[in-house]
Structure 1
Amino acid sequence: MADKKTLLVIDGHSAAFRAFYALDPANFRTQEGQYTNAVFGFLRMLVKMLQEEQPDYLAVAFDVSRHSFRTDEYPEYKAGRKPTPPEFSGQVELIKEALAHLGITTLEQENIEADDILATLASRGSAAGIQVLVASGDRDTFQLSNEQVTVLYPSRSITDLKRMTPGAIEEKYGVPPHRYPEIAALVGEKADNLPGVPGVGEKTAASWINKYDGLEGVIAHAADIGGKRGGDLRSPGGC
């Protein structure tokens, strides 16, 4: 039987931001004053992934803006983030230009995030029998992991990527990938300005989810959970 084809999909903005913060912009500047540290780091990461994974198909997804259908539903979504550093300005456009010269497909769409594009490609690719690699620094992508989808998550550096398989995710968080969003719902996501239950960390959230068979079960049994955390869960600010 022939080996499965491999699709590699990359979160462009996530990779660009991680490259930017990993490399001092003062060391990467053109004579015209354009900073290029994110461009250099992104391309270095891309080359290493291509060498190591040798995918048959490749695409890079980008956000169009911070606005999406999520901000329509919850205006506070991602509110309070620090302004983008001025040194980052123009670098995403240079990355896109470099990818175009390399013949690499880039994808973006109004009102949705790059994450949504990654999820769509992962779902369609795995349904077609393709092995999918999702390169992203956003832990929300962990829910995509299954026997045919592996998340490549940055570790010590932008080129050091952990393979977040279903087993690796369950070992780290105590729940299978499809339940990772339930962990995030209870704990909250500071980066996205999404509140959780006060004082509840990942271990407590996992124990509740496993005991009560998911977030809906936790909510249904909220009256049975004692202590301060149980009270916080039942409070208006909890679930």
Structure 2
Amino acid sequence: MAKSKNDPKKSDKKKEKLFLIDGNGLAYRAFYAVVPIHTSSGVPINALAGFVNMVLRLLKTQKPTHVAVAFDKGIPTERVNPYQDYNAQRVEMPEDLALQLPMIQDFVRALGVPVFRVPGHEADDCIGTLARKGAEAGMDVLILSGDLDLLQLVSPQIKVLTTRRGISDMVIYDEKEVKRRFNLKPGQLADLRALAGDSSDNITGVPGIGEVTAKKLLAQHGRLEDLLKNLSALPAKWRNPLTEHREEAVEFKTRASIRTDLELAVHWDKCAFGGIPV
């Protein structure tokens, strides 16, 4: 007798789950969320403590089959060179946090988790590339970060887990949750930043186009490129500034967009996670 298609004995192997950790983003979040803690010799360890707490807790609850961590590697030259004011508003990393990054990286290595860094690129671009590759390999991908910029990567196979307050109040963003919060699709969030601005990356946006207007325009036209093709259909109060600042808007979108196409050699067997060492 032939077995039913729904026969549990014929069920497929459990789908693999890739857990991607934004090392820099999570370190910053932990540093500012956890009260200052020092060793007996005066070494700050609050970011380390928060990072370890979050990662261990989530490894236990999320039960990934594969794990990888990405860190920044130098100045993001591919964005800085064309746009000299990129990140001009960003302040230097606090010294107490910089002192803890090597310890955080030691912790990651002790877990047996591979670290990815690409010279001239931020951790975001590594995460974006790893997420795309993981989804293409058929894995469900969960990104852990304190940076909402990564929400633009959300797709049917990619979700983002981020903190709301502290290091324990967290929310998972899927496509539905991104839509609920921003009333836009994930793929439109870089367009939103290009139009409305983002001071953290020195993206000034288009004068006269605030967040509310930007969302309205994107809801009607989809992407920035489509909006710019239909300027004649807009009222003068929006058409004029968009016409005058057209090139800047396109540049701003480039800055706001996370790369997903870095030359990154990935061997998923090396990312396989065998559990927390004891």
2:215 maps to amino acid? A
2:18 matched residue in structure 1: 7
C-alpha deviation, 1:233, in angstroms: 2.6
> 8 Å contact 1:14–1:136 — kept in the other structure?
yes
> 8 Å contact 2:89–2:200 — kept in the other structure?
no
C-alpha deviation, 1:60, in angstroms: 0.9
1:106 maps to amino acid? V
Matches of 1:65 and 1:47 in 2, distance apart? 27
Matches of 1:236 and 1:199 in 2, distance apart? 11
1:24 matched residue in structure 2: 35
Matches of 2:77 and 2:54 in 1, distance apart? 27
1:90 matched residue in structure 2: 99
C-alpha deviation, 1:222, in angstroms: 2.4
TM-score, length of structure 1 as denominator length:
0.92
Matches of 1:89 and 1:125 in 2, distance apart? 30
1:75 matched residue in structure 2: 84
Which one of the candidate residues 126, 133, 153 is aligned to 1:144? 153
Q: Which runs of 4+ in 1 moved over 4 A?
A: none
Matches of 1:41 and 1:163 in 2, distance apart? 19
Which one of the candidate residues 216, 219, 236 is aligned to 1:210? 219
In the TM superposition, what whole-angstrom CA distance separates every residue of 1:123-160 from its partner, at most 9, and x where no partner exists?
Answer: 11111110000112222211211111101121122232
Aligned length: 237
C-alpha deviation, 1:29, in angstroms: 0.7
C-alpha deviation, 1:94, in angstroms: 0.5
Tell which has more relative contact order, 1 or 2 (C-alpha 8 A, sep 6+): 2
- Unmatched tracts of structure 1, length 5 or more: none
Matches of 2:125 and 2:31 in 1, distance apart? 23
Range with bigger deviation, 16-25 or 203-212 = 203-212
2:194 is the counterpart of 1:185: yes
Range with bigger deviation, 209-218 or 69-78 = 209-218
- Using the aligned pairs only, state the percent identity: 33
Matches of 1:51 and 1:141 in 2, distance apart? 23
User: Secondary structure in 1 aligned to 2:90?
Assistant: coil
> 8 Å contact 1:11–1:136 — kept in the other structure?
yes
2:114 matched residue in structure 1: 105
> 8 Å contact 2:151–2:186 — kept in the other structure?
yes
- Unmatched tracts of structure 2, length 5 or more: 1-11, 250-278
Matches of 2:158 and 2:222 in 1, distance apart? 24
Relative distance call for 1:201 and 1:236 in structure 2 (3 A) is closer
C-alpha deviation, 1:230, in angstroms: 4.1
1:21 maps to amino acid? Y
> 8 Å contact 2:34–2:166 — kept in the other structure?
no
Bigger CA radius of gyration: 2
CA-atom RMSD in angstroms = 1.8
2:130 is the counterpart of 1:130: no
Matches of 2:77 and 2:162 in 1, distance apart? 24
1:56 maps to amino acid? T
2:57 is the counterpart of 1:48: yes
2:173 is the counterpart of 1:164: yes
1:59 matched residue in structure 2: 68
Which one of the candidate residues 200, 209, 214 is aligned to 2:209? 200
C-alpha deviation, 1:227, in angstroms: 5.6
TM-score, length of structure 2 as denominator length:
0.80
Range with bigger deviation, 224-233 or 39-48 = 224-233
1:34 matched residue in structure 2: 43
1:120 matched residue in structure 2: 129
> 8 Å contact 1:68–1:113 — kept in the other structure?
no
C-alpha deviation, 1:43, in angstroms: 0.5
2:235 matched residue in structure 1: 226
